[in-house]
Chains A and B, each alone.
Chain A
Amino acid sequence: DIQMTQSPSSVSASVGDRVTITCRASQGISSWLAWYQQKPGKAPKLLIYSASSLQSGVSSRFSGSGSGTDFTLTIRGLQPEDSATYYCQQANSFPTWTFGQGTKVEIK
C-alpha cells in the first residue's frame, strides 16, 4: 500500500505570509496527487488535482507542484479564510485512495 506523509502537522502564520505544506508518497505516484481543504464541520473541498492543476473557482493563491514522490502545496498571501486543515490524496492505482494525515493551518 502507498503511504502518504504530510508535514508539518500544523503551522501558524500571519495574514499575507506564504505557507508551504509537503506530502511524500512511499512510492512513485506520477502526478496523481490532489490537495483538499477542510473546514470544521464541512466536507473537504478540492483545491488542486493532478499535482499542479488548480480546480475551477479556487483562488490562485493556491498552487501545487511535484511529481513522483514529493509534492508541495503553497498558499501565497495567506488570508483569514484559509484557516483550515489541508489533506493530500494519492490516486495512482484505481480504485485505492490514500490521504495524508492532514496539516492544520492557523492564522496568528
Chain B
Amino acid sequence: EVQLVQSGAEVKKPGESLKISCKGSGYSFTNYWIDWVRQMPGKGLEWMGIIYPGDSDTRYSPSFQGQVTISADKSISTAYLQWSSLKASDTAMYYCARREMATKTVDSWGQGTLVTVSS
C-alpha cells in the first residue's frame, strides 16, 4: 500500500526555522514526483512546488520561489519542506502528495502537517 506519512504539527515563533517531512512507503520513492500543497486556514489549495527524489530535480511555483526550500533524501524515502525564517502568514496546513504522471493528478496524499506561527 502506498503511504505518505508526514511529520507532526508544529508551533513556531516568527523568525524561526522549520523543516517538515513526508516519508513515502509501499512504492519506489525515487520514481515518483512529490508535490507540496498549502492550505491556509479556511482557504483553498495552493500548489507550492515539486521534487523528483530520483535526482532531486525541483521546481517551484513563482509564488513560493525563494520563500521555501523543497528537498529529498532518497536513502530514507523522505521529502522535506523547509523555511529559514517563518512568518505569521506561513500558518497553514501543508500536504505532500504523490503525482501520478499519466493522469497528472495526485494518487496519494499525506495526512497533512499543521504549521502555526505565532508570537
**Interface assignment of B54: CB less than 8 Å from any CB of chain A:** no
A96 CB to nearest B CB, Å: 7
Chain B residue contacts of A100, Cβ below 8 A: 44
In Å, the complex CA distance between A91 and B106 comes to 11
> Is B112 positioned at the interface, with any CB of A under 8 Å from its CB?
yes
- In the complex, what distance in Å separates the CA atom of A45 from the CA atom of B33? 18
Which listed residue, A34, A89, A95, touches B59 by the CB 8 Å rule?
Answer: A95
Q: Which of B59, B62, B105, B107 has the most CB of A within 10 A?
A: B105
Taking CB atoms, residues of chain B closer than 8 Å to A32 are 104
Question: Are A46 and B46 in contact, CB atoms less than 8 angstroms apart?
Answer: no
The answer to the question of A67 belonging to the interface, with a C-beta cut-off of 8 Å to chain B, is no
Interface string of A73-87 (1 = CB under 8 A from B): 000000000000001
Give the Cβ gap from A12 to chain B, nearest Cβ, in Å. 18
Within 8 A of A (CB), among B39-97: 44-47, 49-50, 59, 61-62, 95, 97
With a cutoff of 8 Å between Cβ atoms, the chain A residues found around residue B95 in the complex are 43-44
Number of B residues, CB within 8 Å of A = 22
Instruction: Choose among B45, B61, B62, B105 the residue that contacts A91 (Cβ–Cβ < 8 A).
Output: B105
On whether the beta carbons of A43 and B110 are closer than 8 Å, the reply is yes
Interchain CA distance A97-B33 in the complex, whole Å: 13
Determine the chain A residues whose CB is within 8 A of the CB of B35 once the complex forms.
Answer: 97
- Asked if B109 CB lies within 8 Å of chain A CBs, one says yes
Cβ of B105 and Cβ of A49 under 8 Å apart?
Answer: yes
The answer to whether A53 touches B103, judged by C-beta atoms less than 8 angstroms apart, is yes
Binding site for A on B (CB under 8 A): 33, 35, 44-47, 49-50, 59, 61-62, 95, 97, 103-107, 109-112
Q: Which residues of A contact B (CB under 8 A)?
A: 1, 32, 34, 36, 38, 43-46, 49-50, 53, 87, 89, 91, 94-102
